[in-house]
Amino acid sequence: MAFHRFDIASLAATPWKNGGGVTREIACSPPGASMERFDWRVSIATIDRPGPFSAFDGVDRVIMLLDGAGVRLHSQAGGIDHRLDVPDAPFAFDGGVPLDCELLGGTSTDFNVMSRRGRLRADVRVLRDRADTAPVAHGLLLALRGSWHLNDLDCAAGTGVWWNDEPAAWQVAPRESGAALVAVRFTASGS
């Protein structure tokens, strides 16, 4: 199984065009794909001022609060009005809907998953106990808190693995109480 290890502390930060925050890309498929051509993308975003969220037509998104007071995401046309203020609680929405973002108090850091509708579907779960994951060709595991044993790898908080185009199954187990791991699985649409 081919996989890539990463540490979020060493990821390069890219400022947003609107100046409202920065993004640190963890992985993208195919590797190096532009924002118009990716099949899936996972990143960490730091939001430090209110403003519009970028809309991505044909993309499904999942966002999850990692740190800070959170944000309120709402659409002018209605349909979406969500307070992202509970850590480790994934929220799925249509990435093509224009959204405004309000800070609920200070800077917020979020985990973001995007998948191209019609190609792949993302499943995002937070694990706290030992689990076995079924094989999937595309995915990512990130230790949010505590250290984890991932198959034969040890993974500290803020680090993880991702894989692409080769089915992989994982046995994951926390090494201490209070640990949390986010597991992202991408499956073909319709499967």
What CATH architecture is 120-188? Sandwich (2.60)
Q: What is the pLDDT of residue 1?
A: 57
Give the separation between CA 3 and CA 6, rounded to whole angstroms: 10
List, as own/partner pairs, every contact residues 21-24 make where C-beta atoms lie below 8 angstroms and the sequence separation is at least 24, other chains included. Answer: 21/45, 21/46, 21/47, 21/48, 21/49, 22/46, 23/112
Structure token digits, residue 21: 């925050």
Report the CATH fold assignment for 11-116: Jelly Rolls (2.60.120)
CATH topology agreement for domains 11-116 and 120-188:
yes
Residue 59: which pLDDT band, with cuts at 50, 70 and 90? very high
Residues 95, 61 contacting (CB under 8 angstroms):
yes
How is the chain split into domains, by residue range? 11-116, 120-188
Does position 191 have pLDDT exceeding 60, yes or no? no
Q: pLDDT by residue (tens digit) across 2-21?
A: 799 999 999 999 987 677 78
Q: What is the pLDDT of residue 77?
A: 80
Rounded to two decimals, the pTM is 0.94
The stretch 108-129 carries a mean pLDDT of: 97
Structure token digits, residue 165: 């185009």
Closest CA to 99 of 37, 139, 55: 55
- Give me the percent of the chain exceeding a pLDDT of 70: 98
